[in-house]
Structure 1
Amino acid sequence: MSGIDLPTPDFTNNMKLIGHSPIGGRGDGLQLMVHRGFAYVAHPWSQGFSIVDVRDPKKPGAVTYAPAPANTWNIHLQTHDDLLLVINALDLFADVETFADEKTYYTKSVGDTVAGSGRKRAWSAGMSVFDISVPDRPRKIGELNIDGVGFHRLWYVGGRYAYASALFDGFTDYIFVTIDMADPTRPEIVGRWWLPGMNKAAGEAPTAPEGKRYALHHALVSGDTAYACWRDGGLTLLDIKDHANPKLIAHRNWSPPFGGGTHSPLPLPGRDLLVVADEAVLDHEEDGRKHTWIFDIREPTNPVSISTFPIPSEADYVAKGGHFGPHNLHENRPGSFVSETLIFATWQNAGIRAFDISDPYRPRETGALVPAAPTEMTDRRAGRPRVIQSADVFVDAAGIIYATDYNAGLAIIEYGG
C-alpha cells in the first residue's frame, strides 16, 4: 500500500500515518509485538494470530496467519529472542448466547458465568510456545495446559520466568501465576496469587460487589516486584523474589468512587513512578470517566496517586460511539523504544496518544492520531458501531509506532518528536 492509498486519519497532532496493513483481510487486532522486523498481531475475532512483514514500515508486506485451536482465542502474545508465547483460552466472544451483551463480560465473574453456562470442555486452555528463529514461520515446540477457561495475558522478556493471568476451575476469575521457562518445551506453573475471595473451590466467599469483576488483567515485572492490575479490584504490588510464593506488598483500589477497569501497569523504576491505565469498557462512558494515573512508588508499601493524564477533548468522543478512554500502554520492553518521560497509549475511539510526563504532576499530551473508521467489521457482536477502537500500541527502537484496532487493521505511525 503506497502513501496515497493510506486511509486519511480523522485527527492528527504531531503524528503522521506512514503505513497500514489490512492484515491479510483479518483486520481485527488486540495485543501486538514488533520483533526483528515482523509484527505479531493477536486476533480477538479471527481465532488465531498473524505475522506481518514490517521491515519497511511504509510498505508492510506478506502476512502469515496461524489459526487457533477449535473454540479457542489467542488474544495476547509475547516475543523474545527465538520464542513466541501465545495464550490459549475459551473464545468468550464466540459464545454469543452467554456473552452477546458485552456487559456480561465486563461486569460479571467470568468463572461463574462460564460454569453456569453448562459448556462442556472443548477448547485449549493455557499457553503455546513457538520457535520463531524464522520470524514468519512459527513452529510449535511446547505447551502448558491448565483446567478452566485458560490464560488471558502474559509478560515475558527473557530469563527463567514468565508471568500470566490464568482462570482455573474453582476460581471466580483470572489470578496471577508465575511460569518456569527453564525448558521452553515444557513450561510449568510454579506460583499463584489471588485476591481474597477468588478461590471458591477452597471455600472463600467472593468479595467483589455486584456488577464488579475482581480479575487480574495482567502484571508487569520490574526487579522483584510484579505490578498487577485487577480490573475492578484495583492495583497490587507483589514481591516475587520467591517465585513459588508471591507476597503482597500493597493493595490499592479506587473503585468506588471511580469506575474500575484497572488494566495496564507501567513501572518507571528509574523515577520511582508507576503509570496505571483504567480501561473504558462500556459505550458512551456508561462505566464513568476513566483515567490514566501516575503513582509515586518511592515507598512501595504506600503507592500514592499524584496526577492523571489529560483527557482528549478536540472532539465529542463520548457521543462518537464505542468505548472512549484508556486501554493499553507501550510497555518499555527491552529492545523496543524505552522512555521514562514519554508515554504512548491507546485511547480507543480517540486513537493513539503521546504524553510527556517530565513533570509527573503535570502530564501533557504531545501527539495524537485518530485513525479512520474501519471499512469492514470483523467484530461479529450485534450492534457494534463502525468507529475506531484503537486497542494496543508498540513503539520500536527507531520510534515508529504500531497500533491495532478491533476492525481497522494495523496502523504504522511516525511521531513528530
Structure 2
Amino acid sequence: MARLGARAAGLALVLGGSLAVAGQAVAGPEVSTVVPRADCGPGSRPETGLQGQVPLKDRVSGRSTQGYWCNLELVSRYQGQGQGTVGASYGTCQYLGTILPSALTAKRKGVNVIDMSDPRKPKLTDSLMSPATLGGTWETLRVHQGRGLLAAVSVGAATGGFFVSVYDVKTDCRRPRLLNGIRGTSLTMPGAFPGHEASWSPDGRTYWTTGLLGGAIAALDMTDPRTPKVIYNGLTGMVNHGVNVSRDGNRVYVASSSIPAGIVIFDSSDVQRRKPHPQLRRVSETTWDDGIVSQYALPFTDRGRPYMLAVDELGSGGVRFFDISDDRRPKVVRKLKLEVNRPEHLGTRAADLEKNGIFGYDSHYCTLDRADDPTILACGWSQSGIRVFDVRDLTSPREIAYFNPPGQVGKRSALVNSAHAFVPFGGYFSDIVRSLPEGRPIYTGETDMTADWCMSPPRIDGDTLWVSCDDNGALLLKFTNDAYPRR
C-alpha cells in the first residue's frame, strides 16, 4: 500500500486524458467544535462518562455489556455472524456486509439478508453468494433507494475490484435477484476497476468506486443493471477513500486517506454526460490537520445554499460542515465533535481503547434525513455507537439521541463476519495508528470486545433508524421522548 503522506505532485495520470490540478486550501478559520449533550428522557440508560465514552471502569466491571441509550430504543436486532464494516438496507430488509475470511469460515456465507417486517421475529431470508459478495464487500455495499438496486464490489483484504454484483431488491427485498449473473448463474463478468469504497449517483445511472492504491477511481454505467459497463477508470494521485456525487452528477467528492486529511472535488460532467474519452478535472482540494483519514463527503443544501459535510475516520476529526457556494474555495462553517474527541481527553481515550482495536471514538459514516433543509444527522461513531444531532441550525448543532449497543464480550467465536472481531490491521493501518494524537500503539492481539464498532451509515426512515454494527449485526431503532425534531 501507499505510505502515509504519499501525495502525487503535479499531474496525475488518468485513463483517456490528464487531470487538471487546482490549488490546495486549508480548512479555516477556526470554528466551534462543541456540541451540547442530549437531554435524556424517561426510559434512557445514559452514558456514565464523557459524551461518547465507554469508560475503562465500565469495560472492566461489565457495565459496557449492557449498552447505553438516550431517546432511542431498540426495536429489533438480528446478530447472526456479525457485520463486515458497512451494511445497507431497503424497505424492511437489512443487508450485512462481508469481510474476506467469512467467505471460508461463515456458516451462512455471503451478504446475509435480514427481514425485519416483523420486528419481534427478525429472520435470515437469504444469503447473496456471487463473486463480489463473497470477495469481501468492505465499504462498497450500497443501495440506490429510488431504483431499488443493491450493488457491491469484491474488495479482498482491503482494496481490490474485478467483480461487481447488482441485485434487484425492489421486487422483494427479502429475496434479492442477481441481475448481472451469467446465463442465470451467480457468476458475473470480471472488469478492471478499483474496490474499497463506492457510491451511487443520485440519478442511479452511475456507480462510482474508489481504491486506496494509486488513487484509483472508476465509474460504472448502471443504466441497464444487467450489463454494468466501466465508462471511466483512472488515477487521482491520492490515496482515495470514500466517494460521493452531487445531485446533478457533475461533481464527485473524494476523501483522502493520506495525511493531511481532506476532500478533493472533481468536475465529473464528462462522465455524467457520457462523453467519449471522459476526464475528471480537479476543482479544489481542502485539507485540515485535526483529524486523520477522511472518510467521505456528502453534499446537501440548506435554505437554498449548497453545503457539504465531511467526516474523518480517525484522529477524532469528527464532522465538519462546509459552505460550497464557491466549490473552488470551500469554507468551513462548523465542526462537530463529542466530548471524548476533545484534545483535553487524550489520556482518558487512550486508556479506554488500549485493547479494542484500531477504531476508537471516531466518526465513520453519517446520514442526513433529507438532501434539502435537513433536520437531523445520524452517524455511526465507532465505539461511541450511533449518534444523532439536530442540524436545523448548522451553526449550532446539538445532540438529541444516541444508542451504543452492548459490548459482546465472550462471543468472538460466533462473530466470524465481524471486522471488529476478526480482521487484523497492519502495515498502512499501523502507520495511521502510530500517528494518532493519543499515540497508542496498534493492538495486534484479540480485541477485548468491550464495545462494538458502529461503522455503517444509518438509514433514517421517519422516526426509525436502520443501522448495523460489527458485533451486534442488524439493528432497528426508534426515537422516544419526542426527540425527533420537526422543522
Q: TM-score, normalised by structure 2?
A: 0.65
Equivalent in 71, 74, 77 of residue 14 of structure 1: 71
Judged with a 3 Å threshold, the aligned counterparts in structure 2 of structure 1 residues 67 and 339 are, in CA distance, closer, same or farther, namely farther
Deviations 1:2-36 (A, max 9, x none): xxxxx9752222211221111xx311243232212
1:178 aligns with 2:233: no
Report the counterpart of residue 85 of structure 1 in structure 2: 151
Q: Determine the C-alpha separation between the residues in 2 that align with 1:269 and 1:393.
A: 19
In structure 2, give the amino acid aligned to 1:329: C
Report the counterpart of residue 139 of structure 1 in structure 2: 177
Equivalent in 248, 264, 285 of residue 236 of structure 1: 264
Kindly state the Cα deviation for residue 180 of structure 1 after the two structures are TM-superposed.
Answer: 1.2
Q: Determine the C-alpha separation between the residues in 2 that align with 1:225 and 1:331.
A: 19
Judged with a 3 Å threshold, the aligned counterparts in structure 2 of structure 1 residues 356 and 409 are, in CA distance, closer, same or farther, namely same
In structure 2, give the amino acid aligned to 1:74: T
Report the counterpart of residue 385 of structure 1 in structure 2: 448
Q: Percent identity, please.
A: 20
Deviations 1:102-126 (A, max 9, x none): xxxxxxxx6xxxxxxxxxxxx8623
Report the counterpart of residue 370 of structure 1 in structure 2: 404
Q: Determine the C-alpha separation between the residues in 1 that align with 2:462 and 2:279.
A: 39
Q: Determine the C-alpha separation between the residues in 1 that align with 2:209 and 2:369.
A: 18
Q: Is the 8 A contact 1:216 1:231 kept in 2?
A: yes
* Larger relative strand fraction: 1
1:217 aligns with 2:242: yes
Kindly state the Cα deviation for residue 218 of structure 1 after the two structures are TM-superposed.
Answer: 2.3
Q: Is the 8 A contact 1:296 1:306 kept in 2?
A: yes
Q: Determine the C-alpha separation between the residues in 1 that align with 2:368 and 2:394.
A: 18
- Give ranges in structure 1 of 5+ residues lacking alignment: 1-6, 93-109, 111-122, 199-213, 281-287
In structure 2, give the amino acid aligned to 1:407: D
Report the counterpart of residue 361 of structure 1 in structure 2: 395
In structure 2, give the amino acid aligned to 1:127: V
Report the counterpart of residue 46 of structure 1 in structure 2: 102
Judged with a 3 Å threshold, the aligned counterparts in structure 2 of structure 1 residues 312 and 348 are, in CA distance, closer, same or farther, namely farther
Kindly state the Cα deviation for residue 332 of structure 1 after the two structures are TM-superposed.
Answer: 5.0
SS in 2 for 1:56: coil
Judged with a 3 Å threshold, the aligned counterparts in structure 2 of structure 1 residues 151 and 189 are, in CA distance, closer, same or farther, namely farther
Deviations 1:377-402 (A, max 9, x none): 23224422302111113224333112
Report the counterpart of residue 467 of structure 2 in structure 1: 403
**Pairs within 5 Å for 1:18-417:** 18-22=75-79, 25-44=80-99, 46-47=102-103, 48-67=110-129, 69=131, 72-75=135-138, 76-80=140-144, 81-92=147-158, 125-132=162-169, 133-142=171-180, 143=188, 145-147=190-192, 150-166=195-211, 172-196=213-237, 214-223=239-248, 224-232=250-258, 234-243=262-271, 244-254=278-288, 257-270=289-302, 271-280=305-314, 288-313=315-340, 318-321=350-353, 322=356, 323-330=360-367, 340-375=374-409, 376-377=411-412, 378=415, 379-380=421-422, 381=424, 382-386=445-449, 387-416=451-480, 417=484
Deviations 1:192-244 (A, max 9, x none): 45433x5xxxxxxxxxxxxxxx2232223322222221222520122222112
Q: Determine the C-alpha separation between the residues in 1 that align with 2:265 and 2:174.
A: 36
Deviations 1:287-310 (A, max 9, x none): x33221111111111101122113
Larger displacement relative to structure 2 (182-191 or 342-351): 182-191
Q: What's the C-alpha RMSD, in Å, of the aligned pairs? A: 3.0
Q: Is the 8 A contact 1:226 1:238 kept in 2?
A: yes
Report the counterpart of residue 208 of structure 1 in structure 2: none
SS in 1 for 2:374: coil
SS in 2 for 1:234: strand
In structure 1, give the amino acid aligned to 2:91: R
Q: Determine the C-alpha separation between the residues in 2 that align with 1:186 and 1:331.
A: 31
Q: Determine the C-alpha separation between the residues in 2 that align with 1:139 and 1:127.
A: 14
In structure 1, give the amino acid aligned to 2:367: H
Q: Determine the C-alpha separation between the residues in 2 that align with 1:311 and 1:363.
A: 12
Larger displacement relative to structure 2 (29-38 or 341-350): 29-38
Q: Is the 8 A contact 1:86 1:127 kept in 2?
A: yes
Q: Determine the C-alpha separation between the residues in 1 that align with 2:124 and 2:201.
A: 26
Report the counterpart of residue 106 of structure 2 in structure 1: none
Q: Is the 8 A contact 1:373 1:388 kept in 2?
A: yes
In structure 1, give the amino acid aligned to 2:217: F
SS in 1 for 2:366: coil
Q: Determine the C-alpha separation between the residues in 1 that align with 2:339 and 2:351.
A: 13
Kindly state the Cα deviation for residue 275 of structure 1 after the two structures are TM-superposed.
Answer: 1.0
Higher RCO, 1 vs 2 (CA within 8 Å, ≥6 residues apart): 2
- Give ranges in structure 2 of 5+ residues lacking alignment: 1-63, 104-109, 181-187, 272-277, 416-420, 425-444
Q: Determine the C-alpha separation between the residues in 1 that align with 2:376 and 2:367.
A: 10
Q: Determine the C-alpha separation between the residues in 1 that align with 2:460 and 2:319.
A: 22
Q: Determine the C-alpha separation between the residues in 2 that align with 1:245 and 1:148.
A: 16
Report the counterpart of residue 11 of structure 2 in structure 1: none
Q: Determine the C-alpha separation between the residues in 2 that align with 1:353 and 1:131.
A: 31
Q: Determine the C-alpha separation between the residues in 1 that align with 2:72 and 2:207.
A: 34
Count of paired positions: 349
Larger displacement relative to structure 2 (364-373 or 27-36): 27-36
Q: Determine the C-alpha separation between the residues in 1 that align with 2:204 and 2:404.
A: 37
In structure 1, give the amino acid aligned to 2:465: I
In structure 1, give the amino acid aligned to 2:69: T
Q: Determine the C-alpha separation between the residues in 2 that align with 1:135 and 1:29.
A: 20
Judged with a 3 Å threshold, the aligned counterparts in structure 2 of structure 1 residues 372 and 299 are, in CA distance, closer, same or farther, namely same
Report the counterpart of residue 202 of structure 1 in structure 2: none
Q: TM-score, normalised by structure 1?
A: 0.75
Q: Is the 8 A contact 2:252 2:267 kept in 1?
A: yes
In structure 2, give the amino acid aligned to 1:341: T
Kindly state the Cα deviation for residue 64 of structure 1 after the two structures are TM-superposed.
Answer: 1.9
Judged with a 3 Å threshold, the aligned counterparts in structure 2 of structure 1 residues 305 and 396 are, in CA distance, closer, same or farther, namely closer
